[in-house]
Chains A and B, each alone.
Chain A
């Protein structure tokens, strides 16, 4: 056998390398500056993320390390989302840093940057082993970050819970991957597709073990996305973890699960989906998970009294809507998934930032503490209401368009293919659950605006948190009225997932 050295082309992974080095810079700075100045480390981190975003814009598309690292449209799109999530999470963490996490600010930010590096590496991988390592690098720092309030029982519990669930789901996923490797003899997604085709010609089907592999992969990724029945960890972890970490988890970790799903199922197993190759269909499997997510997430969210738990259940439901676009498995379906995640970034990070600001000031996450807030802090309440209405999908906010595109793409596919009545059911249930969703989002708004009492609090946000809230509101409003740039950006995704018929 011959082992040529691959072409490294390090320039394409400049943003990742920079982000990792910057994590070391942040940790050293915090160590040397004797931890007397709280916010400098945070600003340094924000600066690094901005530079990484700038580098990402400069490097362009290309391949590095042979086939191991690919910067294509889908990778760049998701990297922008991950950097945005990291930026907004750091921006909303300044209050927490002043009060609760005093001793390990540098470590906190360094772990966040390394997790982001893992997400970006994951977006660029084309091969099962790197996908797995990318997911691990994403989640392992998050285990520690979830438990970062070391004296708080809930936080430690959430860290341990997330760690056990994360380890278990990774094990499931690797087991599923090992079956794929055993069936195809390769971990490279492109070679896997060729092997599937050959095996199909030779044996007629892939063998029944393929179903086991698909179920284990779907379960492993389902845990990361918090799709039912793998969702139980999410509310406890979101409630216990520091609020900026919960925010980062809800968007970043969800995005990482989504890109892993897109790589393995859509790109790698697409041949397995197409009707002339095999009768087995993973589309329906994911469709059932999506329905369960929308129903369970939205119904259970209604009864929550803690706003972080409510947002956790809401994020379970949102994952269901996103997966509907995946089920469509068409160019417009993939574009709608990208668009949804992009809008979700603004609305959800914004909502969590608002919760973090309120929690830093009052120490409470109960929905009833928000009573009458509109009288003392009308501007803050209005901002919070905008985020919640966008999550619920009310026009003219961007959340409405996101839901519309997802549903439209699946209806479009259902019209063109036979035997697709279950897709209409899925859309119907999805539309019905948005009504439930409106109920609990509007409840928070009702408590803030129409409560007879006057709130004893007046919200004062630190400057970075204000910036995050502003970014969120501008994103939600602007892209609700003028979605074309994001849509175009998202439509580019499908050209680099090599599956379209």
Chain B
């Protein structure tokens, strides 16, 4: 079992990294969007491996289901965007590659050298969706409500900005 989980992790990681790299390097914006779907879908697989089923379901529903579909619609409804060749690099490409690589290597080194992780935080029970739901209705009820205010504010702002004016 342990062995299978580990090999599944490596396969998923490979898919995530490859699709993420293709997402930021391909020339056709429609292909980029498709690889984004694949990338986000594989992340849901990682969540499953970590026993976080609720997070995996939310990931598929929100990112794969809603966000990606919305983006693909936006691309298809915009004139001629599907066939256009887009430029995905600029003069700062090498610098940012260096910064990102050093951050990734540094973070991995620091994380693996740290011995004082609190493992209570990492052990999820198998009924964690249930526990999550109960937390949202008791201890974390107020932040949960604040999120709804936040979404309302974002919606009002987006509509006010995107609406066509009748002068």
Give residues in A with beta carbon < 8 Å to B: 1, 3-6, 20, 27, 64-66, 68-69, 103-104, 107-108, 110-111, 114-115, 117-118, 121, 127, 129-130, 133-134, 136-137, 140-141, 143-145, 147-148, 150, 159, 181-186, 195, 199, 202-203, 205-212
The answer to whether the Cβ of B98 comes within 8 Å of any Cβ in the partner chain is no
B96 interface contact, C-beta 8 A: no
**Given A3-B134, A130-B142, A208-B110, A199 and B116 contact (CB-CB distance below 8 Å):** yes
Question: Are A68 and B118 in contact, with the CB atoms below 8 A?
Answer: no
Across-interface contacts of B111 in A (CB, < 8 A): 209, 212
The answer for the CA separation of A118 and B157 in the assembled complex, in Å, is 15
CB atoms of A203 and B115 under 8 A apart: yes
Residues of A near B153 (CB, < 8 A) are 111, 114-115, 118, 137, 140-141
Known: A110-B156, A203-B116. 11 other contacts (CB 8 A): A3-B135, A65-B141, A65-B142, A68-B140, A69-B142, A103-B165, A107-B157, A111-B153, A130-B143, A182-B117, A203-B115
From A145, A148, A195, contact of B118 by CB (8 A): A195
Does the CB pair B150–A199 fall under 8 Å? no
B146 touches A130 (CB 8 A): yes
- Among candidates A66, A183, A195, residue contacting B139 with C-beta atoms closer than 8 Å: A66
Is B126 at the interface (CB under 8 A from chain A)?
Answer: no
Tell me whether B154 is interfacial, beta carbon within 8 Å.
Answer: yes
A104 to chain B, nearest CB (A): 5
List chain B residues, Cβ under 8 A from A104.
160, 163
In the complex the two chains form, is A137's CB within 8 Å of B115's CB?
A: no
In the complex, whether B158 has a CB less than 8 A from a CB of chain A is yes
| In the complex, per-residue mask of B136-153: 1 if CB is within 8 Å of any chain A CB, else 0 | 011111110011011011
Contact A111 to B156, CB < 8 A, known contacts A1-B131, A207-B116: yes
Q: Does B62 contact A (CB under 8 A)?
A: no
Q: How far is the CB of A322 from chain B (nearest CB, A)?
A: 26
Which residue of B116, B121, B159 contacts A206 across the interface (Cβ within 8 Å)? B116
Quick check: A183 and B116 within 8 Å, CB to CB? Answer: yes
CB neighbours of A115 from chain B (8 A): 153
When chains A and B are docked, how far (Å) is the Cα of A181 from the Cα of B118?
8
* Size bracket of the B interface: 35 or more
Contact of A207 among B113, B135, B154, B160 (CB under 8 A): B113
Contact A183 B134 (CB under 8 A): no
Which residues of chain A have C-beta atoms less than 8 A from B120's C-beta? Answer: 185
Closest chain A residue to B127 by CB distance?
Answer: A1
Q: Which residue of A lies closest to B125 (CB)?
A: A1
- Determine whether B81 belongs to the interface, using a CB cutoff of 8 Å to chain A: no
B121 close to A150 (CB less than 8 A): no
Contact A133 B107 (CB under 8 A): no
Contacts of B107 in A (CB 8 A): 212
Q: Which residues of A contact B131 (CB under 8 A)?
A: 1
Contacts of A148 in B (CB 8 A): 160-161
Please report the C-alpha to C-alpha distance between residue A150 and residue B163 in the assembled complex, in whole angstroms: 10
Q: How far is the CA of A208 from the CA of B163 in the complex (A)?
A: 49
Contacts A20-B149, A68-B139, A150-B165 given: A209-B114 contact, CB under 8 Å? yes
Inter-chain contact total with CB atoms closer than 8 Å: 126
Q: Which residues of B contact A199 (CB under 8 A)?
A: 116, 118
Inter-chain CA distance A443–B27, complex, in Å, is 51
Shortest Cβ gap from A105 to chain B (Å): 10
Write out the residue numbers on chain B whose beta carbons fall within 8 Å of the beta carbon of A20.
149
Shortest B147–chain A CB gap in Å is 6
Q: How far, in Å, is B102 (CB) from chain A's closest CB?
A: 13
Q: Chain A contacts of B89 at CB under 8 A? A: none
B residues within 8 A CB of A159?
A: 161
Whether B122 sits at the interface, judged by CB under 8 Å, is: yes
Chain B residues contacting A129 (CB-CB under 8 Å) are 140, 143
- Specify which chain B residues have a CB less than 8 angstroms from the CB of A66 in the assembled complex: 138-139
Q: CB within 8 A of A147: which of B141, B147, B161? A: B161
B157 touches A140 (CB 8 A): yes
Task: Give chain A nearest CB distance to B88 CB in angstroms.
Answer: 17
Q: What is the CB-to-nearest-CB distance from B161 to chain A, in angstroms, rounded to a whole number?
A: 6
A69 to B159, CA, bound (A): 31
Pairwise interchain contact A144-B138, C-beta atoms closer than 8 A: no
Nearest A residue (CB) for B134? A3
Which residues of A sit under 8 angstroms from B114, Cβ to Cβ? 183, 207-210
User: Which residue of the partner chain A has the closest CB to B103?
Assistant: A212
A129 to B150, CA, bound (A): 14
**Chain A CB within 10 Å — which of B111, B115, B160 has the most?**
B160
Question: What would be 19 A-B contacts, judged by CB atoms less than 8 Å apart?
Answer: A3-B134, A4-B138, A107-B160, A114-B153, A118-B146, A129-B143, A130-B142, A130-B146, A134-B146, A137-B150, A144-B156, A199-B116, A207-B113, A207-B114, A207-B115, A208-B110, A208-B113, A210-B114, A212-B107
Q: Scan B44-81; emit 1 where CB is below 8 A from any A CB, else 0.
A: 00000000000000000000000000000000000000
Residues of B within 8 A of A1 (CB): 131, 134
Complex formed: what's the CA distance from A4 to B135 in Å? 10
Given A182-B122, A209-B110, are A202 and B143 also a contact pair (CB < 8 Å)? no
With A and B bound together, what is the CA distance between A324 and B139 in angstroms? 36
Contacts of B149 in A (CB 8 A): 20, 114, 117-118, 137
Cβ-neighbour of A133 out of B118, B135, B150, B152 (below 8 A): B150
A107 engages B116 (CB within 8 Å): no
| Residues in B whose Cβ lies below 8 Å from that of A130 | 142-143, 146
Whether B157 contacts A141 by the Cβ 8 Å rule is yes
Q: Which residues of B contact A107 (CB under 8 A)?
A: 156-157, 159-160
Contacts of B152 in A (CB 8 A): 114
B124 CB to closest chain A CB, in angstroms?
12
Once bound together, how far apart are the Cα atoms of A6 and B157, in whole Å?
33
CB-CB under 8 A from B159, the residues of chain A are 107
Q: Is the CB of A133 within 8 A of B156?
A: no
